[in-house]
Structure 1
Amino acid sequence: MSDRRGGAGRAAGQAPAKVKKARRPQVRLPPLEPWEGRGLEPDGDYDGVEFRGVDLAGQEGIGARFMDCALTGCALDEAGLARARFIDSVLRDVRGVGTNLAEATLRDVEVVDARLGGVQLHGAALERVVIRGGKIDYLNLRKARLKDVVFDGCVLVEPDFGGARLERVEFAGCALKGADFSAATLTDVDLRGAAELGIARGVDRLGGAVISPAQLMDLAGVFAAELGVRVE
């Protein structure tokens, strides 16, 4: 007679599947030339350029390409960068409200200590991107594609991941406040490192994510509400 208990014991003793870790960018910038232009140009081509302390507020760089570039201490208020491409680049201490990066491409990019609000990244493609430190309010990533992305030690206030696809995305030491995951698709998303995990909508889309036991307890009320369970 077969030992069903033994089979169950082996199944229970199996190691849990590991979450695939995100591949971080390895950005090594070459010697850069200081930018001396007057303004960004639509479909402009910027290669090996350093933008330091430049006021790019209201500039129109739709479809521009930034390759091996550094943007340091730049103002990006209402900057028009829809469909722009940032490749092997670093954005450090950038600030601004209403920056339009809709349908932009960020590949092998580091964003460090940014202070941004209302950033439009809907429909964008992010691959091998690290967003480290800083604070971003109302980040719009609706229907964006995130692959190998790390949010590290930053504060995200009401980020919108609605309809987005997240694969190998990590939240490490960051605060996630009022996040919206409605209609999102998650694969190998690691939320365990989040210092604060607040989900306003889309808790039913967390299949494919990993959370810690403590986070499960914190989200118990949200899960209960999603299931229509009253807790009295």
Structure 2
Amino acid sequence: MSGAGGGGQGSRTTLPVVGWVVSGVGHDGGMARNGRSDGQSVKAARRAEVALPELVAWEGGGLEPDGDYDGLEFADLDLSGQEAVGARFMDCALRRCALDGAGLVKARVLDSVLAGVRGVGVDLAGASLRDVELVDARLGGVQLHGAVLERVLVRGGKIDYLNLRQARLRDVVFEGCVLVEPDFGGAVLERVEFRDCALRGMDVTGARLVDVDLRGAVELGVARGVESLAGAVISPSQLFDLAPVLAAQLGVRVVA
């Protein structure tokens, strides 16, 4: 956006210390145009659009390592403790299933919907999720470190202690959900949006962010790694919320 002199519109406020862009207010107090930072547009995430075919109800026994599951519906099942390392789920739906302690290391979940799933300690380390919708989940201690998420929508629900260390997220949208102490340490986030969701105690230590839009987060709490928020876009009110963490990072004492 042009921010030439003479009382015209101001350019966006940028934090040179950490490379954030504060969107919404120009230097002259006017509203900045949404979606632009330093003359460049903030690229929006491409949302997952899952169109499931007619599904067949799963009537098998337990899941199997390297299993191949195509066009199936898993509904109201207890899959706790199942071991399906390296399994592939394509055009599948998991609805209201219990997943406590399920071992899905390096699984591939493609063009699928997970709705109302619940569980603690689900292990998806090194998994690949592409064109996936995760809706109204109630999960805790999910292991997704080293995973690859592409065109994933997480809508509603609550996830505690989500481990995404060293993961790669591209075109991921978190919408209307609560994330308690999510760990993005060392992860790469590209075109990731947080809409109407709460982020509590987030760790972004060593993360690399590109076109990450935090403006829609109704709660933004950063416990560690505030210096790694370069590449993120925040709102003016969020800047005030983050001021204590930023001051601590800079070694600034605020004395009344």
Residues 170-185 of structure 1: pairs in structure 2 closer than 5 A: 170-185=193-208
Counterparts of residues 118-197 of structure 1 (less than 5 Å): 118-197=141-220
The SS at the match of 1:192 is strand
Which sections of structure 2, spanning at least 5 residues, go unmatched?
12-35
Instruction: Give the 3-state SS of the residue equivalent to 1:148 in structure 2.
Output: strand
Displacement of 1:12: 7.1
Give the number of aligned pairs. 226
**Cα deviation code 1:162-215 (max 9, x no counterpart):** 000000000000000000000000000000000100000010001100000000
Give the aligned partner of residue 3 of structure 1.
Answer: none
Deviation of the 1:8 alpha carbon = 5.9
- The two structures, once aligned, show a CA RMSD in angstroms of 1.4
Out of 119, 132, 154, the residue aligned to residue 109 of structure 1 is 132
Task: Measure, in 2, the Cα distance between the counterparts of 1:13 and 1:230.
Answer: 30
Query: How far, CA to CA, are the matches of 2:200 and 2:170 in structure 1?
Result: 21
Counterpart residue identity of residue 220, structure 2: L
> Is 1:223 matched with 2:219?
no
Instruction: Give, in whole Å, the separation in 2 of the partners of 1:105 and 1:229.
Output: 42
Match of 2:22 in 1: none
Deviates more, 1:48-57 or 1:8-17: 8-17
CA distances 1:31-80 after superposition (whole Å, capped 9, x unpaired): 00000011000000000000001110000000000000000000000000
The ranges of structure 1 where at least 4 consecutive aligned residues each deviate by more than 2 angstroms after the TM superposition are 7-18
Residue equivalent to 1:4: none
Q: 2:231 maps to what in 1?
A: 208
Among all aligned residue pairs of Structure 1 and Structure 2, give the percentage whose two residues are the same amino acid.
72
Q: CA deviation at 1:150?
A: 0.4
Task: Name the CA distance, whole Å, in 1 between partners of 2:5 and 2:212.
Answer: 28
C-alpha offsets along residues 102-136 of structure 1, whole Å, 9 cap, x if unaligned?
00000000000000000000000000000000000
Name the stretch that deviates more: 41-50 or 18-27.
18-27
What is the distance in 2 between the residues matched to 1:200 and 1:13? 32
1:71 has 2:94 as partner: yes
SS of structure 1 residue aligned to 2:5: helix
Q: Show CA shifts across 1:208-231 (max 9, x none).
A: 000000000011011000000000
Q: TM-score, normalised on structure 1?
A: 0.95
| Separation (CA, whole Å) in 1 of partners of 2:82 and 2:240 | 46
Give the partner amino acid of 2:130. Answer: R
Structure with greater helix percent: 1
Q: What secondary structure does 1:82 align onto?
A: coil
Partner Cα distance (2:117, 2:177) in 1: 14
Structure 1 residues without counterparts, runs of 5 or longer? 1-6
Name the structure 2 match of 1:62: 85
Partner of 2:116: 93
